[in-house]
Amino acid sequence: MRVDIVVPVYNDPENFNALYHSLVASVTSPWRLLLVYDKPDDTTLSVAEPLSKQDERIVLVRNQARGALPAIKTGFARVEAPATLLLMVADPPAIIKKIDTLLQKMEETGAAVVAASRYMRGGSHTGGNALKGFLSRLAGLSLHYGIGLPVHDATYATKLFRTSFLQSTPIESERGFTCAMELTLKAHIKGEKLAEVPVHWKEREVGESRFAFFGWLGTYLYWYFWGMYHVVLSWFKK
């Protein structure tokens, strides 16, 4: 299955270089990488532009606005493959090595969303801010056991989407990578199939993380309770 990989970046040449070489070394499925940047002086381009001239699979996409969420939407609008992967530039090589497995799982199950899951059996989450990790795990497991969400890790942004599902599902989130959680909950509420693959996540070793979990916490909480409400409401309608 072909996949378009959407990677929003912001001044992160070291991690982009590592991500690209991990893709080349690890992914056997046909792929394109849509690198979405805000401004022409983004330092990531110092690495990405030369690589794009050597490898036509790298597509440089100028963000239509500024920030993570507009970058994601801009990337999604340029997708052509049947499957779309939202990937963070600092995802460790262990995650990259799972891309073929995510695609295989989508083909086997027909799922609209395949989650890279740190909190299912066989997955792990090490390093990083302990409070952020606790809240992320709490949200994922409470949605799984509380409302029957078929995946254990709703908050992790790295997810594989069926492109036709993306194109038929408006994104209403207003901040950051919270749209991945929104889309996962919307797929469940619409009755779409969801699947997951265990992954081992380890805190990045290069650069400063742009994943502002606490800055986006209010939006995560909104979608958490939105999902809870709509699933419980659907139970009463049956």
Q: What is the pLDDT along the chain (238 residues), one digit of tens a residue?
A: 999 999 999 999 999 999 999 999 999 999 999 999 999 999 999 999 999 999 999 999 999 899 999 999 999 999 999 999 999 999 999 999 999 999 999 999 999 999 999 999 999 988 878 888 888 999 999 999 999 999 999 999 999 999 999 999 999 998 888 999 999 999 999 999 999 999 998 876 554 444 455 566 888 999 999 999 888 888 887 6
Give the DSSP letter of residue 150. Answer: S
E-strand ranges in the chain read 3-8, 31-37, 58-62, 83-86, 113-117, 124-126, 159-162, 194-198, 200-202
Cα 31 to chain center, whole Å? 16
Token pair listed for 72: 């994601």
Domains with residue ranges and CATH for the chain:
3-237 (3.90.550.10)
Q: What's the Cα-to-Cα distance from 147 to each of 32, 91, 211, 228, rounded to whole Å? A: 35, 28, 27, 7
Radius of gyration from C-alpha coordinates of the chain: 17
Token pair listed for 57: 């699979």
